[in-house]
Structure 1
């Protein structure tokens, strides 16, 4: 194990080249960890700047109060957010209680956060202006503001967890903090709650706290479904661990803790409001190909290609891709790192999912940084995501105003295929790192005993 943090300007070719603008790579005697501005604090400061810029980017919509999805400026200003619209459209503005009085297409912890935030928004609006011209619209803006703060806190937690997962590589947290994905997507929805819980669960696993890792996974699944994939990753790690019996005990403990936590959160709501609780599952089962997915792109480019129900295609493709992850994990000469497998599993899920909203890519951000912390690859992948981010909003401007499209359906479809191609390319690099460990930029900087953990 290295005695001091790995320095990007000495470890990453792109970072080394960029450092020439500020005096060149850090010297051999540099000891950044002894200063107050250590790598983690710098990453948190950069993250705060990125999140603040994200709020400023939403200002055109904030000034217009996100009044209507038919307002073209919501889309062309690239500042759309689900948050204020859902406040008005899911009964929160009318005093409804989620799951009991209104159907909600989110798991129960997300619903709980929405309900609590709604009460806070109403109280805040009462203090700011108790008699606005349109109470629902005014409260929905307050709802967005409180949510943006909560998501910022979740983002900072994610940055800290990422920086501490591989202790010898704290500077990798900066790759999360400075990401344009964080800037553009933080306040679109509540995904960063699940990202934070997942990131801390990974940290707990690397610190040999499988019980806490399971608790955090169970809570994460009650926010978004994807953290459950970590349990499969832990199983693969156990299969390849040198001390298999110990590893399987950790896996079982994490699984039991995750299932118990999920049940504690979900069962009371299921008993209290069964129809509302089940709606999340039926909504996702019944939906068709939706925005961002490869299935939607194929429908736009070749409408006759997917005439049948896509559920079987999604299931089949998902099983194949997850099977590929299992095969790679088992064939690797050296046990793969846990975060490499976690990145591949979540990427496989997104690649075949029926919907791939812009903010879903936040699920991958800390995992990609932990799996392959290389500036060039991460920049190329994120450029494709930023191009898609612009394309989806411009496409939706025409979707809600068909007589005045901004970009064509074909252009939008190709933007989807571009982001798919970029992610597949990044996955291929991670697979190569697993099969040929000498290419893995992380492996040399952590002790051999912690490879499967981190």
Structure 2
């Protein structure tokens, strides 16, 4: 008889999957601390330092490194209160110190520094000399907030908090911080929380015998350089919690979270494809219809008020994405750089939509989706609710 109550989890070391035994890299790295886990090791008895909490600590370490990588761009210049000071980006600091973040320039470029509400306020696009730009059709180049509603309102909320701190520092004598720097810090704090939610949901989707797999997310080097570059962590949090809800047979909640994710960034809508394929294979199309309805409802609930009040500003996100040409990091641009090719559409005027390029990209994407669908529906394997990882990994191409 044991002198102490038995643990809830009675699995021994041989009943678990350990990277220090099964992963080639894990085996090599484990030699630094004494080698792979021993056969008679006590596992799963630590009341506080559970695998998830250890992963959270690792994630926090990488988030700290992520903020540190942006710190050179958070140096401030100027005098006066926080609203009168700016981030010191002189001499292209953001590029030679590798600390660029969209958050800092967007604070001024999208009129957040003036307290303007996104989608309601507009500005004229100008060149480096301050001259107004004219579109290809001869009309002024008018700009609005270019992000979906959840991300735009998130920025507006962070701006309001930053301005509140500026006012409090004037009254209470708090340390003076450039308003744009405080804006960045508030945004970064929220993104860090969203990233921890992403990790929590990912851990909930990991097999019970492999709780450490999520370390690949928490300790990804990309986190150091990109977690605070833009606002994608909001969408990843909604996306992964949606998959977590789906795996627990909560189709309505999964749909609501996908809809909110689409209202933050467009790409979470792609989750609907693998979920549809899983539903077709498992004969649960009715459950998928709940998810699709929940996604549509939550997306409309968030977007409808802004779309009705400020239709021009609300539509900027879609207009901007249809008139964007091939990005500098795209295969199209690589081919153009080495061959002198002018692109599918040839030379374009300012903001002229690349119609042919958009059509080619849409067709290629559609063909990829059809290919993924064929593989998913014909491949042997599990057909249950929790079989989503196989099809999501297929769709990730």
Query: Shorter-chain TM-score: which interval?
Result: 0.7 to 0.9
Q: Can you list the C-alpha shifts for 1:44-76, whole angstroms capped at 9, x where unaligned?
A: 001111111111121211115774777322111
For the pair 1:53 / 2:103, whether they are aligned, the reply is: no
Give the match for residue 291 of structure 2: 254
Deviations 1:201-243 (A, max 9, x none): 11111111111111100000000011111111111111222xx
Corresponding residue of 2:17: 6
Asked if 1:153 corresponds to 2:193, the answer is yes
Task: Give the whole-Å Cα distance in 2 for the aligned partners of 1:99 and 1:305.
Answer: 34
RMSD between aligned alpha carbons?
2.3
Tell me if the contact between 2:242 and 2:258 (Cα under 8 Å) persists in the aligned partners. yes
Residues 5 and 167, structure 1, Cα contact 8 Å, conserved in 2: no
Rounded to whole Å, the distance in 2 between the matches of 1:274 and 1:301 is: 41
CA distance in 1, matches of 2:342, 2:39: 58
TM-score (norm 1): 0.70
Tell me the residue number matched to 2:3: none
**Contact 1:229-1:342 at 8 Å conserved across structures:** no
Measured in 2, the distance between the counterparts of 1:131 and 1:289 equals 50
1:131 is displaced (CA, Å) by 12
- Three-state SS of the structure 1 residue aligned to 2:44 is helix
Alpha carbons of structure 1 residues 126 and 298: separation in structure 2 relative to 1, 3 Å: farther
The answer to whether residue 316 in structure 2 is matched with residue 306 in structure 1 is no
- Counterpart-to-counterpart distance in 2, 1:300 and 1:327: 35
Structure 1, residues 226-263: CA drift from partner, whole Å, max 9, x if none? 1111111111111222xx1xx21221111111110001
Match of 1:341 in 2: 391
Show CA shifts across 1:359-393 (max 9, x none): xxxxxxxxxxxxxxxxxxxxxxxxxxxxxxxxxxx
Q: 1:294 aligns with which of 321, 331, 338?
A: 331
Q: How does 1:361-400 map to 2 (within 5 A)?
A: none
Query: TM-score, normalising length from structure 2?
Result: 0.80
Higher relative contact order (CA 8 A, sep 6+): 1
Please report how far the alpha carbon of residue 38 of structure 1 lies from its aligned counterpart in structure 2 after TM superposition. Answer: 1.2
Are 1:43 and 2:84 counterparts?
Answer: no
Give the secondary structure class of the aligned counterpart of 1:256.
helix
Which ranges in structure 1 are unaligned for 5 or more consecutive residues?
Answer: 349-454
Shift in CA distance, 81/129, structure 1 to aligned 2, threshold 3 Å: farther
User: Is the Cα contact below 8 Å between 1:5 and 1:170 reproduced in 2?
Assistant: no
Q: Deviations over 1:321-351 (max 9, x none)?
A: 2222112212312248422322443x44xxx
In structure 2, list runs of 5 or more residues that go unmatched. 1-9, 78-85, 123-143, 346-355
In the alignment, the residues of structure 1 paired with residue 171 and residue 393 of structure 2 have an alpha-carbon distance, to the nearest angstrom, of 47
> 2:178 maps to what in 1?
138
Closer, same or farther in 2 for the Cα pair 1:180/1:129, shift >3 Å? Answer: farther
